[in-house]
Amino acid sequence: MSNSRLSYTDGSPLPGDGLVQISRASLIRLKRWGGDLPLRAIRVRSGSSGAYLTRLKGRGMEFDEARPYQAGDEIRNIDWRITARTGQPYSKLFREEKERVVTLWVDYRAPMYFATQGRFKSVLASEAAAMIAWSAHKLGDRLGGLLFSEQGHLELRPRNDVRTTLRLIALLAEYSQKTPPASLPEQRREAAGSALLRINRVTRPGSLVCLISDFRDLDTRTENHLTSLARHNDLILVRLFDPLEAELPRAGWYTVSDGRRFVAIDSADRARRLAHREHYLAQRARLEQICRRHGIHLFQCATNDDLPGILKNSLGRQVH
């Protein structure tokens, strides 16, 4: 396994820190990188202290109350639930939101604990989430998270305080250090589907939701969840992949390992190499199409890429 372009292992006793797992101390050190990330949050140039002009689909406002419909009210602000219950049209009133909610959805299913070059996808996921968390903390946003695997999920309710940020950082490190049991494809798809359904249910309209995964098992259910989530929120997808997942190496026998199990791969079959490549390209194209269709911001990073540079440069291009 090759060395990363960046080292986060200074003085850390954790074996393989920054490669196959990552320590809390290493994620805390990412504060200097995360603080520079532009999360598409532009301060309002008005007298309204602390508000955001975010370009979010949720209008940067939060629900205040409902009142009977009046001439001139926007149709999109009708509260259909109260209208149906009372038989009279009601409109939602909003007040300016002083804080934005930033929610991290991080994938720790078994295939994330893998790399043939650079660092495990699970390590990159923890690093990406930590950098975004530090950026949200610096901007004064409310930070929350949902971390999941085949064994279930863990939620962190959005709060605006350093304790929440540090708690999330600790969880990101803890999850990266787990030993995932073997799982079936059906279990992995069900875990992702359930986690997407949950994030849809708990996310407030107007939030910034960052989904970090390899998105290998993208299917119609996943697409429907992403479409629903993107309808009222700003979405950032960080797609992680290993070079071997993109293309099999030249003909020969290769042994790959996730640090715990070993698998032998025969890449001598040209048809197999082409099928492998075509499947990868089709899945990537499908995800890119979904993101273009729904205005989702997609960033893609290989396990041997410069993650901080990709996030900083790509987010910067999205803002301008």
Give tens-digit pLDDT for 122-146: 999 999 999 999 999 988 899 999 9
Q: Judge if 248 and 186 occupy the same domain.
A: yes
Q: Judge if 59 and 208 occupy the same domain.
A: no
Q: Judge if 185 and 218 occupy the same domain.
A: yes
Q: Which of 75, 96, 117 is the last residue of a domain?
A: 96
Percent of the chain at pLDDT exceeding 70: 82
Domain annotation covers residue 207: yes
Is residue 56 over pLDDT 70?
Answer: no
Q: Judge if 109 and 128 occupy the same domain.
A: yes
What pLDDT does residue 258 have? 52
Write a three-state SS string for the chain: CCCCCCCCCCCCCCCCECCCECCHHHHHHCHHHHCCCCCCCEECCCCCCCCEECCCCCCCEEEEEEEECCCCCCHHHECHHHHHHHCCCEEEEEEECCCCEEEEEEECCHHHCCCCCCCCHHHHHHHHHHHHHHHHHHHCCEEEEEEEECCEEEEEEEECCHHHHHHHHHHHHHHHCCCCCCCCHHHHHHHHHHHHHHHHHHCCCCCEEEEEECCCCCCHHHHHHHHHHHHHCEEEEEEEECHHHHCCCCCCEEEEECCCCEEEEECCCHHHHHHHHHHHHHHHHHHHHHHHHHCCEEEEEECCCCHHHHHHHHHHHHHC
What predicted TM-score, i.e. pTM, was given to this entire model?
0.78
Q: Judge if 270 and 306 occupy the same domain.
A: yes
Q: Judge if 241 and 133 occupy the same domain.
A: yes
Domain annotation covers residue 266: yes
Domain annotation covers residue 111: yes
Confidence of residue 319 (pLDDT cuts 50, 70, 90): very low
The answer to whether residues 221 and 193 touch, using CB atoms and an 8 Å cutoff, is yes
* Interval 63-110: pLDDT, tens: 667 889 887 777 888 889 999 999 999 988 765 555 789 999 999 999
Q: Judge if 173 and 255 occupy the same domain.
A: yes
What pLDDT does residue 256 have? 67
Q: Judge if 112 and 124 occupy the same domain.
A: yes
Provide the domain count of the chain: 2
Q: Judge if 154 and 286 occupy the same domain.
A: yes
Domain annotation covers residue 9: no
Q: Judge if 71 and 92 occupy the same domain.
A: yes
Q: Between residues 240 and 49, which one has the greater pLDDT?
A: 240
Is residue 241 over pLDDT 80?
Answer: yes
Confidence of residue 34 (pLDDT cuts 50, 70, 90): confident
Domain annotation covers residue 271: yes
Q: Judge if 80 and 197 occupy the same domain.
A: no
Q: Judge if 154 and 273 occupy the same domain.
A: yes
**What's 134's domain CATH number?**
3.40.50.410
Domain annotation covers residue 70: yes
**Residue 177's domain spans which residues?**
24-41+99-319
Is residue 59 over pLDDT 50?
Answer: no
Is residue 43 over pLDDT 90?
Answer: no
Domain annotation covers residue 10: no
Domain annotation covers residue 177: yes
- The per-residue pLDDT of the chain, averaged, comes to 83
Q: Between residues 147 and 184, which one has the greater pLDDT?
A: 147
